[in-house]
Structure 1
Amino acid sequence: MLVEPVKGQSTVVLSSEEPQVFDRERPSWGLRRFMKTTAEVEWANLWNDCLVIECEVTVIKETFDVHVPPSDLSDNLATLLEGKKGADVTFKVQGEVFSAHKILLAMRSPVFEAEFYGPLGNKGAQNGHDWLADKNWQANIWHFQQVTALKLAKILLVLRGWLGANQLLDKILVCLPIGKPNFGSKPSSPDITIDDMQPAVFRAFLHFIYTDSMPPMRDLEEDDKIEMVKHLLVAADKYGMERMKRICEGMLCKSLDVETVAAILALADQHHCSNLKDACIEFMLSSNRMNDVMASQGYAHLKRYSSDVIVDVFERAARSCKI
């Protein structure tokens, strides 16, 4: 900045917002751009052949970048699922057993949340107190059980004295729960049986719940991959996992052909997938593919079980004048 000697006012001549680096690799001894000298400038800024220049310099200290690795939370959760550490619920799916964690399932799915922690779910742990793990409560129950069993035993012994040896009375006496208390930990929860899902599909479903990503399907043939995605869409709809459902919709939209579009349309209508349904109808009506679609097996199934969808297709076709 040039400083006017009389008034002391400063005029910005040159400024730079970008920092200038001065080091051995990039030496800099000045600027290539200078201010043009005019009589007006000399008259305003020269005083006794002296020029006052004001410089504002900001020195920036060198900073060091710290490399932050990418998040590995999904990998850790996948390891938790595979390792089964701390698992507190077991699923039986067509003979295969899967262990999982209730709190994580409930966090991801409103259906699991209602099942495990809703008013009809864990009845032993309501209002913040787990009665099944309360040893005082267990002791009271055990005491009541022992008193009742002893009274019943006395009655049975009196009957045995009247009736003599009796095998039925002897068996009842042996089965009475009289003995030392066993206050262990909370009993394990019963297994949950899944009848409407294949083990491979349930494994992929758990993978998404824990990692928020679709499982790798590189080893599957294209037809098997499409079938897997269909089953996962059904599971996502059943357990209220909207993000997973949308991902499956997107994958199926990219795999439409004349042989599968009718079956996928029926699936989309059944599970309220509006985006997938629109994509299927648009595919059927485009490029004069309707005749080929009507010749497929999927269309026969669609016509038999989802006739209202057929009506929707033809109504859209009539509006667009494509038939």
Structure 2
Amino acid sequence: MIDSCSFSHQFKFNYLETEKFAIGHFVSSKDISAGGHLWRIVCYPRGCGREEHNGEYLSIYLVRMCEPKDDDIKATLEASVMDRGGALFSSHRRKVTHSIDRKVTGFPRFVKRSVLDSFYLTNGSFIITCDLKVMRKEPLDVPPSDVGSHLGHLLDCADGSDVSFVVDGEKFPAHWAVLAARSPVFKAQLLGSMAGANMSSITLHGIAPATFKVLLRFMYTDACPVDDELGDSPDDMFAHLLAAADRFVLDRLKILCARKLWDNISVDRVAATLICAETHNCPQLKKKCIDFIVEENNFKKVVLTHGFVQLAQQFPSILDDLREKVGA
């Protein structure tokens, strides 16, 4: 699908008058708006000023007058000399394609002035015709990815499931290929040296069924859990999910959970969030929590919370970090 804009422009010169032009002197069209850009056609009757041309050539350029908005565009300049009969002379017809990353393109040695004098003068004048064509490609609309919805449906209906997980007595059918592709821990357990002869049922400990259910759906859909999956305490669920993501090396889910926990940070919850970050190797969240605590208005309140007492008991080394920052 191409959106095309075409323009023609003519330059008519009195040959004897152009002899008086200085090298580098130019005449140009007005600004031409096409394809979301402004263009100008510039003609140098005695060349653009390069020493090697020495005023012997007529030069023509296409100039883009504004910065490019995109690179999905192509412009072509076609220039011709009109002969004495009014036809465009094929031996002096040139075409160039404009590169969007350049502001200027064209013909520094379009035609020798001596050739103009010999063949193209009509009543002492000659005519240069320039055709500008700008084409913008209109990409076809691409629908959003539906892989997640398809795999989510596969998980819901359990078609073709070949492994199941038992979590606190609750059974979750799944597909080993999906899990192995998503998690190196599951890959080692299902395909590697850890795999046993019969891996159709695996019992997991240390994770709640509600947490594993949300974790499993993320592995199929790569989508952040929605509100109705988070239970009565979303912050607690995100903390449990962050722990599970660390356990099964799901780095994207881990950062998503860290961001959700940080979005809901408060004086009352920051110590518990810091414990979660330190326990489950999330340095980004840890740094943010420490920076939050050491703020003057927060520190005196945080140290009075029950969570801070737990923090001091479990990770006394963090207290040294806090003292250092508060002292600084």
TM-score normalized by structure 1? 0.62
Partner of 1:82: 156
CA pair 274-51 structure 1, distance change in 2 beyond 3 A: same
Task: Give the match for residue 216 of structure 2.
Answer: 206
Given that 1:110 and 1:240 are in contact with CA atoms closer than 8 Å, whether structure 2 keeps it comes out as: yes
Q: CA deviation at 1:48?
A: 4.7
Specify the code of the residue in structure 2 equivalent to 1:280.
C
Describe how 1:73-222 pairs up with structure 2 within 5 A. 73-122=147-196, 124=197, 189-217=199-227
- Secondary structure of 1:119's aligned partner: coil
Inter-CA distance 219–48: structure 2 relative to 1 (3 Å threshold): closer
**Conserved 8 A contact 2:14-2:124:** no
Change (3 A) 1:220 1:203: closer
Once residues 208 and 136 of structure 2 are traced to their aligned partners in structure 1, the CA distance between those partners, rounded to angstroms, is 59
Query: 1:232 — aligned with what?
Result: 241
What letter is aligned with 1:217?
Answer: D
Q: Is contact 1:204-1:215 (8 Å) kept?
A: yes
Deviation, 1:57, is: 3.4
Q: For residues 65 and 315 of structure 1, what CA distance do their matches in structure 2 show?
A: 56
Check if 1:272 corresponds to 2:281.
yes
Alpha-carbon distance change, 70 to 50 in structure 1, aligned in 2, over 3 angstroms: farther
Cα offset for 1:303? 1.8
How many Å apart are 1:53 and its aligned residue? 2.1
SS at match of 1:205: helix
- Indicate conservation of the 8 Å contact 1:201/1:232, yes or no: yes
Tell me, yes or no, if the aligned pair for 1:106 and 1:116 is still in contact at 8 Å.
yes
Aligned length: 232
Other-structure match for 1:71: 145
- Relative to structure 1, the CA distance from residue 3 to residue 81 in structure 2 (aligned partners, 3 Å threshold; closer, same or farther) is farther
Query: Which residue matches 1:255?
Result: 264
Q: How many angstroms does 1:294 deviate by? A: 1.4
> What is the aligned-residue identity percentage?
31
3-state SS in 1 of match to 2:173? strand
8 A Cα contact 2:214 2:229, kept in partner: no
User: Aligned with 2:129: secondary structure?
Assistant: coil
Which deviations, in whole Å up to 9, do the C-alpha atoms of 1:162-193 show, x marking residues without a partner?
A: xxxxxxxxxxxxxxxxxxxxxxxxxx744212
Q: 1:289 aligns to what SS in structure 2?
A: helix
- Give me the CA root mean square deviation: 3.4
1:291-319 C-alpha deviation (Å, 9 max, x unpaired)? 2111111112112222222222112222x
Secondary structure, counterpart of 1:55 in structure 2 = strand
Alignment match, 1:12: 60
> Is the Cα–Cα contact under 8 Å of residues 109 and 241 in structure 1 kept in the other structure?
yes
Q: 3-state SS of the aligned residue for 2:268?
A: coil
Cα shift readout 1:100-150 (whole Å, capped 9, x = no counterpart):
11111111111101111111214x4xxxxxxxxxxxxxxxxxxxxxxxxxx
Unaligned runs of 5+ in 1: 21-43, 125-187
Bigger share in helix: 1
- C-alpha contact 1:2 1:52 (8 A) present in aligned 2: yes
The answer as to whether partners of 1:4 and 1:10 remain within 8 angstroms in 2 is no
The equivalent position to 1:281 in structure 2, one of 279, 283, 290, is 290
Give the C-alpha shift of residue 62 in structure 1.
Answer: 9.7
Unmatched segments (≥5 aa) in structure 2:
1-10, 17-54, 65-73, 78-115
| TM score, norm. by length of structure 2 | 0.61
Give the SS at the match of 1:57.
strand
